[in-house]
A and B are shown apart, each in its own frame.
Chain A
Amino acid sequence: MIQAEGRKLPQHNSPIEKFLEAKKLYLHLSQHTGKPSRLLLKPQDKIEEGDLIASGGGLISASLSSPASGTIKEITKFNHPVLRKSEAVVLEADGLGKSYSVGEDVSVLDKSAILDKIGNAGIVGMGGAAFPTHVKLKPPKPIDTLIINGCECEPYLACDYRLMMEKNDEIFKGVELVSKIISPKRVIFAIEENKSEAIKKFNSIISTKKYPLPSAHVAILPSRYPQGGEKQLIYVLTKRKVPLGGLPFDVGCLVHNVGTLYAIYEAVYYNKPLIERVVTFAGGALKKPKNILVKLGTTVKELFDTGALEFKTEPEKIIYGGPMMGIALNGLDYPVMKGTSGILFLTKEEIDTRDEDVCIRCARCVDSCPMELLPLEFVKRVKNQEYSSLNELYIKDCIECGACSFSCPAKIPIVHYIKIGKKYAVNS
């Protein structure tokens, strides 16, 4: 793992603002890991906020509810950071809101009732991977350790930190619900030391014993990247290694991001589906970096058009996600999705544009690889087109975290070569 400069200020200290009045929403049917959602409506249909737009499209999929009341204009291909163009529902909001009130008594709900509510709300992992949460909460093996992921190890991002600061009771209520479903033996809150205020808050809540959680404690971790990765976090906290191709439940662990827990809380207590999220908008090109609660489908362009965000200078790069794993965008016409934790507007000074040099085999990539792989060997073999030997080096274990490229003194875009290698390794 590597120690990268956090660059969390000033967004770390800016409270969550709201921008819920977007006029036009672009809702992708593919905004989670797994099969796309199955569309239930057609153009010109009127819809209320919170109504189902699309249901889960398979065993691993998530449903999608409407973030606003309004009319469906069309179903079209729209910009998608990963898929480039993908099927999206275009919703024209009429500005009518909806208030969510406390539903029935939560304490009487049993396991399956809670799970149903989470599934119906279309909740996915909010840390970035966007894996459907209701699937994750039905592990085929017993879980002894529930890990609450508050690491937020990518530089710039601060949305999880703000949630931990402002919605900590809600997060604990979410943890309580999850712990009711999977009944773990212990609950670990993993927070990096650069979030000392959040650590204090969580520790004080645990000490009040307000929420009956089995042996809960906060694990204060050194700030390192990619510590917030599921497999890395499990290893750091429990020294257990998730097998290749396996999932955390194989080693009795379950990891949930704090944002996901907040969404679970809202879904179960208020019957509110996942229709909005906190996104960090940061970078040197912005006049004022912000954490904003926005409706899913809100485009970056609309945020600038309405003045919610303002440029200080022209950005050199716009990044969907964090600076380590995020995707560079070609414009502002991209919508916020369920897994969007941040969108960055970086100046030339903030990014690295140095040219690729020759590898001197210094092995910094090897030392930094959280999966203990040999990145320099991947690069060498991909350059020589020796694809058949890549699988022997476990290229598929690579999580593309970018720690190798970050630390490479020759500035070799190692992840780029690995992506090519993965593609051909499968085919050979």
Chain B
Amino acid sequence: MRLTVSISPHIKASRDTPKIMRHVIYALMPATIASLYFFRWPAFFVILNCIATSVITEEIILKLRRKPSGIKDGSAVLSGLLLALVLPPATRWYAASLGAIFAILVAKHLFGGLGNNIFNPALSGRAFLVAAYPKMMTTWSEPFTLSAVTGATPLALRKFGHTLTPVSNLFFGNTAGCIGETSAVLLILGGIYILMRKIADWRVPLSIIVTVSLISFIFFLVNPLNGSVLFHLFSGGIMLGAFFMATDPVTTPVTKKGRIIFGVGCGTMIMIIRYFSGLPEGVMYSILFMNSFTPLINRISRSRSLGAAGAIAIRRKR
């Protein structure tokens, strides 16, 4: 009789890393397909470009690092897709490729690869492009047009044009904006999917949404031109950020309490940037900013193990 001898437990949950990545990709499909409808071929090519460049970059780096191929874990596909979804539809091909290379090479592998990076790769790639091509990254297309006609996003219109886009347009995605950010309803749908599948913790999106709602409500009461709660929730990158960027397991806290702190921090930063900075939108910088606090949040939110609090009391008594 040939027997396997190994450590307990001997049975394990069926879910593995590739399955988790796949579910997130499925959850992004409604918003991705809608973006093709709104922004047509340009969006298609940016998405294809980002995914292909990410996967190729990942494979080359893994080869150089003498590590097994990572294509099956799906993380590079997901990073590429997420990057494409936060780029303007009119992003040129070389910029999209550079962004994907930056995301995988610098943000992910220079920090040690999957599981070790501090900053969200997709958002880092976007931040790099905003710095490198500021004009291209603020050139927006109106939906259903094939060429970039420097439309303005709803948030830019609010800040610089003092006009508010109707909430219904924001909800369905019929506005200028990043490829995958515009349709709030489809992102919420995908978000609910990953929450129900327990891929992401509800604490992160919920705490972001509650924080943004509270702050924007107070500002709305002061001056309605600041934008209503729903305007702020459904414009810009909040839904994509809250459900798909701030829930990235690698770059966010591991404790339940920590995830709430992280979400509240993101929500607060977003609103500070929207109201008080020179930028119309702040989801990307807020999440990257909070990413840098993740180790600290983990440290302070560490739960005393079951009973340890009592142990400290006992020790003091002695």
Contact = CB atoms under 8 A, between A and B. Distances in A.
Interface of A: 2, 4-5, 155, 231-232, 235, 241-246, 250, 314-319, 321, 323-332, 346, 350-354, 357-363, 366-367, 370-374, 376, 393-394, 397, 400, 402, 405-411, 413, 415-416, 419
B3 A316 contact: yes
B254 A411 contact: no
B12 A329 contact: no
A342 to B, nearest CB: 12
B3 A328 contact: yes
Interface stretch (B36-44, B169-177, B263-271, B299-307): B299-307
Contacts of A244: 305, 307-308, 310-311
A411 B20 CA distance: 13
Contacts of B115: 358-361
- Enumerate the 10 nearest inter-chain pairs by beta-carbon distance, A residue then B residue, closest first: A243-B310, A244-B311, A402-B9, A363-B254, A352-B12, A362-B249, A394-B305, A397-B305, A328-B5, A324-B9
22 contacts: A4-B13, A243-B307, A244-B308, A316-B3, A317-B6, A319-B8, A319-B10, A323-B9, A325-B9, A326-B8, A329-B5, A331-B3, A362-B249, A366-B256, A372-B304, A402-B8, A402-B9, A405-B9, A407-B12, A408-B12, A409-B19, A415-B8
Contact of B10 (A243, A323, A332): A323
Nearest to A318: B3
Contacts of B131: none
Contact of B114 (A346, A358, A415): A358
Contacts, number: 170
B64 interface: no
Contacts of B222: none
Nearest to A225: B9
A357 B10 contact: no
A2 B12 CA distance: 11
B277 interface: no
Given A315-B1, A323-B10, A331-B1, 12 more contacts: A243-B308, A246-B311, A314-B1, A324-B10, A326-B8, A329-B3, A351-B10, A358-B113, A358-B115, A397-B306, A409-B19, A419-B7
B11 A416 contact: no
Contacts of A319: 8, 10
Interface of B is mostly: loop
A357 B73 contact: yes
**Overall SS of chain A's interface:** loop
Interface of B: 1-13, 15-17, 19-20, 73, 75, 113-115, 201, 249-250, 254-256, 298, 302-311, 313-314
Contacts of A354: 12, 16
Contact of A406 (B13, B114, B250): B13
Nearest to A362: B249
Given A318-B3, A330-B5, A407 B307 contact: no
B311 A346 contact: no
Contacts of B254: 361, 363, 366, 374, 376
Contacts of B10: 317, 319, 323-324, 326, 328, 346, 351-352
A336 B8 CA distance: 19
A11 B160 CA distance: 72
B96 to A, nearest CB: 25
A353 B20 CA distance: 19
A139 B98 CA distance: 69
A96 B15 CA distance: 54
A409 B152 CA distance: 42
B308 A366 contact: no
Nearest to A317: B4
A368 B9 CA distance: 14
Contacts of A317: 3-6, 10
Nearest to B75: A360
Max chain A Cβ within 10 angstroms of own Cβ: one of B1, B13, B256, B303: B13
Contacts of A329: 3, 5
